Structure 1
Amino acid sequence: MKIFKKCAKCVINEIQWKNFGFEHSNPEEFVKSKWQKGAKSLPYLLFRWILAIFFVGLFAVCMSLQFFGGKMFIYLTNWGLTLCVVTNVIAALIVTQWYFNIGNMPGEIVNKSFESKTPRLLKFYWLVHCITLHLALVVTTMYWAFIYGKQKKENRYPAISFTTHTFNSIFMVADFIVVGFPVRILHSFYTMMFPIFYCFCTVIYYHLGGLDECGNHFIYPILDWTKPIIGMTTFGGVFILYCICTILTFAGYHIKSFLHKKLQSFLKTHSSDLV
């Protein structure tokens, strides 16, 4: 019962008007790993650039092989891939600025920590990170559960398809485990605006006579607007998935924080024993 009471209290404390926004009392958490000891970490810097280079390279390969006269961007997978690029490049740049004391950003973060005001770039990073993480999980789940093997066209690049529908989530979950900033339940309202916007775009695309690269009148078989019930059912399913992702990431953040405290306590106890 104590666990449920603590969970309920945690959720109640989380649902406050201020948590709709992106102010954070400790902006340093956006440029530091949850698990690093000092103010700066070379392994974390390298981790950030490995992810950024991977997603930029994957995006470049997709553009060169699957652009299809611009039709590449009718797919939610590629919207998600684009966000992965944006999120991880921003993360790599701000951690690099922090590590090498480039520009005014490091000083801004330290000063803002006392003023409880977060620099705009970090607010934007927090927003896109939240959207990207949830979208990656939804794309991977929807593809492997409902789309894989059901497309009425040949999969010409199976290796790329596997990578864009699997490693997007693997790397974003790894990133989620490593980063230090919190998950806000109320930020899910922003993440859920993304599928609404995409759904709206697919409806417009269909009514304007848009086709995929194979001439099909639908983008995905489960989002066929000649059968509105199927389309709306898919849309509803995506919303349910977003709700599940919100719960999982919120719980995951608190589990991560709990383990971090336990680890810190363990290291502190054993270091004092050695002294």
Structure 2
Amino acid sequence: MGRLNWRNAHCMGGVMDGDETSKLFGKSCRGNVSPLYWRIPILLWSVVVITCSVSFFWGSREKFLIYMTHWGLVLISLESLFGIIVTVRKVNKEKSDATFGLPWYVKTYWLLYNIAIPVSFLVSGFYWGLLRSKVGKLDYFAPNPVLDVMLHGINSAVMLVELLSSAHPSRLLHIMQPLLFAGAYLLFTVIYYYAGGLDPWGHPYIYPVMDWSKPRETIVVAALSGLFLALMHIVVVAIATLRDAIVRRLQKDVTGVYNNAFNA
């Protein structure tokens, strides 16, 4: 009877409060396949890429973290690390807190997950759509072609693997999490500019398409980037919903876990 109630609770509203819901974050949508099979490789990949990026960075090391690309890479590393922690700990046997019924490390993982995936898509789209296009003409930004692809292409691919393979939900109501992260980076670029910060080549900006000496153009780019990021979050929710629908159909289970995009 308890198992039936657990399944019906998921069917009625997706993830709900309680210890049982924590199990989803350490599970795969593919049945008994452990998330460790992709989260450990993603963590190792991110650590190797961070190490190589720092080693081959074209400027002084203290300027490594002025780029959104590297912020996103650190996000992937933290997201995969907490994903591993969530997987290996028996969260269903631990006492929940009084907020959302989830342990703090599960909530931390979910927050990082909600931010890392759409931000990775934004980084790839922003880079190839603006910086490396005829608009940005930023050929000097990627002196190493292998790292170039790793930072601005494979980053999205590994996060897509996380999205397609995980069992826990994505919520439309969480759209503010990636937007607030992007807002924090935007504020950083403003402070960096007015503090006299330069890029590694001595330019008074971090990205040429976001030059605060041209505030109107920069605000337009920032607004469009924010809209694109919001769209990417919606796409993530749509993919998660489709993922769960396909899994239910393959398992011929109409009462199982599914992604309720509007649930908190």
One-letter identity of the residue aligned with 2:125: T
1:43-58 → structure 2 map (5 Å cutoff): 44-58=35-49
Aligned partner of residue 77 in structure 1, secondary structure: helix
The answer to whether structure 1 residue 30 and structure 2 residue 32 are counterparts is: no
One-letter identity of the residue aligned with 1:142: F
Matching residue of 2:54 = 63
CA distance in 2, matches of 1:23, 1:146: 45
Per the normalisation by structure 2, the TM-score is: 0.82
Matching residue of 1:74 = 66
Aligned length: 236
Measured against aligned partners, the alpha-carbon deviations of 1:3-61 in whole angstroms (never above 9, x if no partner) come to xxxxxxxxxx89xxxx9x99886110100101124xxx45x322221111111111111
Matching residue of 2:230 = 243
CA distance in 2, matches of 1:138, 1:152: 19
Q: Displacement, 1:87?
A: 0.5
Gapped regions of structure 2 (runs ≥ 5)? 1-12, 254-264
One-letter identity of the residue aligned with 2:21: N
Matching residue of 1:200 = 187
Matching residue of 2:258 = none
Q: Displacement, 1:106?
A: 5.4
CA distance in 1, matches of 2:202, 2:176: 35
Matching residue of 1:216 = 203
Per the normalisation by structure 1, the TM-score is: 0.79
8 A contact 1:26–1:116 mirrored in 2? no
One-letter identity of the residue aligned with 1:264: Q
Where relative contact order (Cα < 8 A, 6+ residues apart) is larger, the structure is: 2
CA distance in 1, matches of 2:226, 2:193: 21
Aligned partner of residue 30 in structure 1, secondary structure: helix
One-letter identity of the residue aligned with 2:130: F
Q: CA RMSD in A?
A: 2.5
8 A contact 2:17–2:101 mirrored in 1? no
8 A contact 1:184–1:250 mirrored in 2? yes
Q: Higher mean Cα deviation, 153-162 or 170-179?
A: 153-162
Identity of aligned residues (%): 25
One-letter identity of the residue aligned with 2:52: V
CA distance in 1, matches of 2:175, 2:53: 29
Gapped regions of structure 1 (runs ≥ 5)? 1-12, 99-104, 267-275
CA 1:192/1:226 → structure 2, altered by over 3 Å: closer, same or farther? same
Aligned partner of residue 88 in structure 1, secondary structure: helix
Normalized per residue, the structure richer in helix is 1
Matching residue of 2:79 = 87
8 A contact 1:25–1:116 mirrored in 2? no
8 A contact 1:153–1:214 mirrored in 2? no
- Residue 93 of structure 2 is aligned with which of 95, 107, 120? 107
1:127-166 → structure 2 map (5 Å cutoff): 127-149=111-133, 150-151=137-138, 153=140, 155-166=142-153
